[in-house]
Amino acid sequence: MDLLNTLVDKGLRRELPTRDEALAVLATSDDDLLDVVTAAGKVRRQWFGRRVKLNYLVNLKSGLCPEDCSYCSQRLGSTAGILKYTWLKPHEAAAAATAGVAGGAKRVCLVASGRGPTDRDVDRVSRTIEAIKEENEGIEVCACLGLLSAGQADRLREAGADAYNHNLNTSEATYGGITTTHTYADRVDTVQQAQAAGLSACSGLIAGMGESDADLVDVVFALRELDPDSVPVNFLIPFEGTPLAEEWNLTPQRALRILAMVRFVCPDVEVRLAGGREVHLRSLQPLALHLVNSIFLGDYLTSEGQAGQADLDMIADAGFEVEGAGTVTLPQHRADVAHAGGGCGSHEAGGGCGSQNEDAGCGSHADGGGCGPCGGAAQGAPEPVAEPAGAPDQEPVPAGAARTGLVAVRRRGAGTDLPPNA
């Protein structure tokens, strides 16, 4: 296919495809899917070999966000039955982070629901970063705290943060239909503040919210222009109790085409497969490893992922390897630019975090994370862990039907008395 040959050549040269070429990737047929994956896989291997970076989310403060992001389980007015709790203490967050590191993660993503942090919140997160780094030498820390005010990015970097995540989520043209309590421009400004402070910028998108192919291309081209080191790709998890609960627009094949398009547009950037992969890719998750070079290990912010050991087994079975702590994630030409710009020590590794938790957003939007300073009543005793997807008593689901049974609210790890999934 001439299109794919052209895209591979451009990706190996770090040349931007045309918008029509990016749209054409999304329009390819299921018959051509393996050809698309093979082509994008050549670009992925050129810049990242067969390494897979593992990232681990710690939800520092969950629920009761004042923002109205339609996809988010923590949004204002959400009736999703998620965990709700106030700030974890530094030692609690450090213990959660250590569990992820023990599972193979080289980056810990600290997420808090809310519009943005107060200066007191920044102090609190700074102490948490210090506690994590004291216990885990060499670990990268990414913060996801919502919209930043002047000087806060500098303070986070001084405290030891390596990266900051804030997702664009969708195109500028459609952003107002998803969120009304802040603007697309607010998000761009926060990413630029992080970059100006020398933090590795992480910014991505959420697919499956009813957007068009043109919207997907628009937001990915905007990300290319913004030039973050890491681009998390989240697939909407339609939580009951949120405005987008009925949006089941993705198939595994479409999810793979979206990931391929992102790889072609952002060939040498850390592309992270973030929230929603278990729900929408399902048994095709291993194919996605040929397109992305980074995933989240275990659970997300407010939803449960597959078992951490299953993630490791999937990587090994697909012929990939977990990226070691001493390995630089980004290609040398990007790592050099990062350091020249005063970037963090592991900015080389660039990897951001993306979370559907979205504003909290580290690439695990799967949880539909929220944005906005929220209080959060302390959570009581954890409810029983939900029956895992695919349990023997489940009825077969017809092709193309919504897989609502795969949405499992997190009931373990941070904010509960149960051990984390890592």
Q: Rounded to an integer, what distance in angstroms lies between the CA atom of residue 209 and that of residue 315?
A: 28
Mean pLDDT of 72-87: 81
The H or E element that residue 311 is part of is: helix 308-317
- Residue 363 inside a domain? The answer is yes
The reported pLDDT for the residue numbered 344 is: 38
Over residues 372-412, the pLDDT tens digits come to 333 333 333 333 333 333 334 556 666 667 787 788 889 88
Cβ pair 143, 97 in contact under 8 A: no
Considering only CA atoms, which of 55, 104, 101 is closest in space to residue 312? 104
CA angle centred on 312, ends 311 and 315, rounded to 5°: 90
Tokens, residue 108:
């810990």
Mean pLDDT of 130-152: 96
- Residue 383 inside a domain? The answer is no
What are the two backbone dihedrals, phi and then psi, of residue 405, each rounded to the nearest 5 degrees?
-70, -10
Q: Rounded to an integer, what distance in angstroms lies between the CA atom of residue 186 and that of residue 206?
A: 17
Higher per-residue pLDDT: 297 or 340:
297
The reported pLDDT for the residue numbered 389 is: 39
Mean pLDDT of 128-149: 96
- Residue 102 inside a domain? The answer is yes
Indicate left, alpha or beta for 368 from its phi (over 0: left) and psi (-120 to 50: alpha): left
Instruction: Find the radius of gyration of the CA atoms of the chain.
Output: 19
Over residues 218-275, the pLDDT tens digits come to 999 999 999 999 999 999 988 888 888 889 999 999 999 999 999 999 999 999 999 9
| Residues forming the active site | 65, 69, 72, 109, 142, 202, 272
- Residue 72 inside a domain? The answer is yes
* Residue 98: band (very low, low, confident or very high) from pLDDT cuts 50, 70, 90: very high
* Residue 339: band (very low, low, confident or very high) from pLDDT cuts 50, 70, 90: low
Tokens, residue 72:
């988010």
Residues in contact with 112: Cβ distance below 8 Å, sequence separation at least 6, in sequence order: 59, 60, 61, 87, 121, 125, 144, 145, 146, 360
Q: What angle do the packed helices 33-48 and 252-265 form, to 10 degrees?
A: 40
Whether the predicted pLDDT of 345 surpasses 90 = no
The reported pLDDT for the residue numbered 37 is: 98
Cβ pair 372, 161 in contact under 8 A: no
Total residue count of the chain as it appears in this document: 422
Within 10 Å of residue 194's Cβ, how many Cβ atoms? Answer: 29
Whether the predicted pLDDT of 366 surpasses 60 = no
Tokens, residue 253:
């094949």
Whether the predicted pLDDT of 338 surpasses 80 = no
Whether the predicted pLDDT of 302 surpasses 50 = yes
The reported pLDDT for the residue numbered 124 is: 97
Mean pLDDT of the chain: 86
Cβ pair 402, 248 in contact under 8 A: yes
Higher per-residue pLDDT: 404 or 214:
214
CA angle centred on 34, ends 30 and 39, rounded to 5°: 125
For β-strands 294-296 and 321-322, DSSP reports them as: unpaired
- Residue 420 inside a domain? The answer is no
Whether the predicted pLDDT of 100 surpasses 50 = yes
Instruction: Give the structural domain span for 124.
Output: 2-11+22-367
* CA 120 to centroid of chain Cα atoms: 26
Q: Rounded to an integer, what distance in angstroms lies between the CA atom of residue 205 and that of residue 141?
A: 21
Whether the predicted pLDDT of 356 surpasses 70 = no
CATH number, domain at 28? Answer: 3.20.20.70
Residues in contact with 185: Cβ distance below 8 Å, sequence separation at least 6, in sequence order: none
- In the chain, how many domains are there? 1
145-159 burial: b if 16+ Cβ within 10 Å, else e? bbbbeeebbbbbbeb
User: pTM surpassing 0.85?
Assistant: yes
* CA 397 to centroid of chain Cα atoms: 27
The reported pLDDT for the residue numbered 395 is: 62
- Residue 48 inside a domain? The answer is yes
Tracing tokens 């994630």 back to the chain, one arrives at: 329
Considering only CA atoms, which of 114, 96, 46, 105 is closest in space to residue 370? 114
Is 13 strand, coil or helix?
coil
The reported pLDDT for the residue numbered 396 is: 63
The reported pLDDT for the residue numbered 400 is: 61
Cβ pair 352, 295 in contact under 8 A: no
The reported pLDDT for the residue numbered 64 is: 80
- Residue 241 inside a domain? The answer is yes
